[in-house]
Amino acid sequence: MAMDLESVFLNGTVGAGKTSTGEALHWLLADDGISNAVIDLETDTSRTARS
């Protein structure tokens, strides 16, 4: 299966389903034999600048 898509970026508010969507996409691609990786980053709000 040829694909033009090289990257997918998911963003949204907390609890929007970004991780679940990323995991589902990973398994769909893997089931089709397409190597892929999912990177899930979480912002550490305790380290943000405060005014």
DSSP secondary structure, 4-45, as one string: ---------STTSSHHHHHHHHHHHHHHTT-----------G
Tell me, yes or no, if the pTM score tops 0.85. no
Nearest to 38 by CA among 28, 48, 46: 28
> pLDDT tens digits for 5-48?
689 999 988 889 999 999 999 999 999 999 999 999 877 666 66
pLDDT at 14: 86
